[in-house]
Amino acid sequence: MTTRVLVLNGPNLGRLGSREPDVYGDTSYAGLVERCGKVGASLDLEVEVRQTDDEAELVHWLHTAADDATPVVLNPAAFTHYSYALRDACAQLRAPLIEVHISNPAAREEFRHTSVVAGVATGTIAGFGLASYDLALRAVATLVA
């Protein structure tokens, strides 16, 4: 049976490929979507990738995932460090939640060192570029098996 997984991305991630390529790489957001779909298919996961710059929309998507017990791979982006609304929505999830980051926040500016989401996530994967998403999807596949 195929498991549905939401891959949710926060602010500015829709600008992958053009936004700070020295930090985030030169693959476009469309490339990320394609990559997640391929990796998911190889793991028998039905992957839906979404991105928003709107905190309320991201919270709404998490509420739906909580109601449907859908596993989530979440790159909260800037919301990582201060969005208690996002953290509280994540705390309601009943399926695995993998927090993912392209860069390693702990190796960057001090304000990036704190994640309000990490405490309610099943686990966090960071610092492996877009391969962080591959690892997160593999974690979900292992956890739901």
Q: How much is the pLDDT for 106?
A: 72
Mean predicted confidence (pLDDT) in 108-121: 83
Q: How much is the pLDDT for 139?
A: 98
Q: How much is the pLDDT for 23?
A: 64
Number of domains in the chain: 1
Catalytic residue among 84, 101, 113, 133: 101
12 is in an annotated binding site: no
Q: How much is the pLDDT for 107?
A: 63
End-to-end CA distance of the chain: 10
Cα–Cα distance between 17 and 25 in angstroms, integer? 6
Is residue 101 among the annotated active site residues? yes
Quote the pTM value.
0.92
Domain of 44 in residue numbering reads as 3-144
28 is in an annotated binding site: no
Asked whether the predicted pLDDT for residue 127 surpasses 70, the reply is yes
Is residue 82 among the annotated active site residues? no
For the segment 72-104, what is each residue's pLDDT rounded down to a tens digit? 999 999 999 889 999 999 999 999 999 999 988
Confirm if 94 and 119 have CB atoms less than 8 A apart: no
68 is in an annotated binding site: no
Catalytic residue among 24, 29, 60, 113: 24
Q: How much is the pLDDT for 16?
A: 79
Q: How much is the pLDDT for 95?
A: 98
Calculate what percentage of the chain has a pLDDT beyond 90. Answer: 75
CA distances in angstroms from 28 to 33, 59, 86, 102, 121, listed in the order given: 9, 24, 25, 13, 26
Give the confidence band of 70 by pLDDT, cuts at 50, 70, 90: very high
Residue 127: CATH number of its domain: 3.40.50.9100
For the segment 19-38, what is each residue's pLDDT rounded down to a tens digit? 766 666 677 899 999 999 99
44 is in an annotated binding site: no
